[in-house]
Amino acid sequence: MSGTPLRPLVEPVDALTPDELARYARHLSLPEVGDLGQRRLRAARVLVVGAGGLGAPVLQYLGAAGIGLLTVIDDDRVEVSNLQRQILHRDADVGRPKADSARDALLRLDPHLSVTALAERLSPDNALELFAAHDLVIDGADNFATRYLSNDAAELTGTPLVWGTIFRFEGQVSTFVPGHGPMLRDLFPDIPDADSVPTCAEGGVLGVLCGLVGSTMAAEAVKLICGIGDPLIGRLLRTDVLGTTFTTLRFSADPDRPAVTDLTEVAVACAAPPAASAPAVDEVTIAEARALGADAVIVDVREEWERQVQSIPGTVHVPLDVVVDRGWPALAEVVGPATDIVVHCRSGVRSAKAVAAAAPGTPEGVRLRSLAGGIEAWSAADSPTPAR
């Protein structure tokens, strides 16, 4: 990284109100923050990409810290399974846009906050305008395409970016400041394939890990805004909560890396369908599967604990890893003489993998298909559309 010390990101507001002086008293007692630093926090405009596992704690702590303007962008809706780690949301928020739920939670924390909720996806069409309108961006996205979009938009607009990832029991955090140290593409030059790492839904994530990593990201934001401490520029902080270890990897800018000049490459990655990690196989819709009735056998390839939470009545169970390991014989043992086999999982990704693994050995005359949308779509077909 550059040897030039980082300047604070923003000029401070003129003064704090008496109520603000009382609310932020513990910051004011810190010589490194003090009145000046708190006035800088009050002047800052921060964009948070995602209101999920990482975005939730980031938003909570930045809202509590007194950031002047918070914008949250997320096109997802709150699900029951989110509540184990995304503690910004409540049970009553299930079905609501996460961005709206997050805004309301922050205003409950402090009614005087300025919070903008964008219930949409960060895309090549809006990224540059959004980044340019903020002093700092926090990337809490859960997919590679959006992470690289954030990096490229930051590089093109010169906007500092705090980046983090989580999976199972491990997390990573780094800070990228264009013109003052390496960027994400210096650390990981190429956008990985969408299916190169399992999603949190497939691989799981320890709920408290989100708070640990998200709080670290929020701390990076405060340091950058106030111009204090030593941000993680040119360093990748890695944590493993099972081993209670923290390690730091130092990296530098690659002089041979081409500069980012536009969003063309990342636009291709962002245009990939959400189920890009699923192989192309024959699918059956919810309506078609239900019309088959007793003539079809529905095979559930999820884990047993998932079936205990929710299951389609009358299904048989063969875990995905068994199907991948044994192919068609694993299904043949449970489907009997049936000739119409429908395989399902949560959303359709794992069932497509199971069908692809079993298809080569499927006997002639047997129709093997993946249930499009999985049990989520099956359940949604029975439920009214959530109110907007």
Share of the chain above pLDDT 90, in %: 74
Provide the domain count of the chain: 2
The mean pLDDT of 363-384, rounded to a whole number, is 86
Provide CB contacts within 8 A for 386, sequence distance 6+.
77, 95, 96
- With respect to residue 339, please indicate whether it lies within any of the assigned structural domains: yes
Domain termination residue (choose one: 215, 236, 271): 271
Residue 3: the pLDDT is 47
Of 210, 226, 270, 345, which one is the catalytic site residue? 345
User: Which one is catalytic: 200, 210, 226, 270?
Assistant: 200
pLDDT at residue 349, as a whole number: 86
- Asked if 51 and 150 sit in the same domain, the reply is yes
User: Residue 276 has what pLDDT?
Assistant: 45
Q: pLDDT for 227-256, tens place per residue?
A: 999 999 999 999 999 999 999 999 999 999
Q: Tell me the average pLDDT of the chain.
A: 90
Q: Percentage of the chain with pLDDT > 70?
A: 92
pTM, to two decimals: 0.76
Note the pLDDT tens digit of each residue in 66-108.
999 999 999 999 988 889 999 999 999 999 999 999 999 999 9
Tell me, yes or no, whether 163 and 24 share the same domain.
yes
CATH number at residue 351: 3.40.250.10
Question: Is the pLDDT score of 195 beyond 80?
Answer: no
Residue 11 lies in a domain: no
Is 226 part of the annotated catalytic residue set? no
User: Is 200 assigned a catalytic role?
Assistant: yes
More confident residue, 280 or 351: 351
Determine the Cα–Cα distance for residues 64 and 293; give it in Å rounded to an integer. 54
Q: Which domain holds residue 291?
A: 283-382
Whether residues 248 and 288 share a domain: the answer is: no
12: in domain: no
Per-residue pLDDT, 277? 52
Alpha carbons 173 and 188: distance in angstroms, whole number: 13
pLDDT tens string 9-19: 999 999 999 99
- Tell me the mean pLDDT in the region 342-364: 91
Residue 48 maps to a domain: yes
Based on the fold, state whether residues 199 and 115 are members of the same structural domain.
yes
Residues 29 and 150 in one domain: yes
pLDDT at 4: 53
**What integer is the mean pLDDT of 323-330?**
93
CA distance 306 to 323: 17
Reply yes or no on whether the pLDDT at 29 is more than 50: yes
106 lies in the same domain as 134: yes
Asked if residue 222 is part of any domain, the answer here is: yes
Amino acid at 317: H
Tokens of 88: 């910004």
Residues 62, 42: one domain? yes
Question: If you count them, how many residues does the chain have?
Answer: 388
Whether the predicted pLDDT of 343 surpasses 60: yes
Residue 277 covered by a domain: no
Pairing of strands 235-240, 170-176: antiparallel
Grade residue 379 by pLDDT with cuts at 50, 70 and 90.
confident
Q: Which domain CATH number covers 246?
A: 3.40.50.720
Smallest CA-to-CA distance from 375 within 302, 320, 324 is with: 302
Q: Is 338 inside any structural domain?
A: yes
Same domain (yes/no): 227, 86: yes
Q: Are residues 289 and 236 in the same domain?
A: no
Which pLDDT value is given to residue 385?
47
pLDDT in tens, 147-191: 999 999 999 999 999 999 998 899 999 999 999 999 999 998 888
Cα(49)–Cα(120) distance, rounded to whole angstroms?
Answer: 10
Q: Which residues, at least 6 apart from 290, have a Cβ–Cβ distance to it below 8 Å?
A: none
Q: Determine the average pLDDT of the residues in 28-48.
A: 97
Residue 8 forms part of a structural domain? no
Q: How far apart are CA 319 and CA 358, in angstroms?
A: 13
Judgement on whether residues 258 and 372 belong to the same structural domain of the protein: no
Cα–Cα distance for residue pair 328/361, rounded to 1 Å: 5
Q: Is 312 found in the same domain as 232?
A: no
- The reply to whether 220 and 266 lie within a common domain is yes
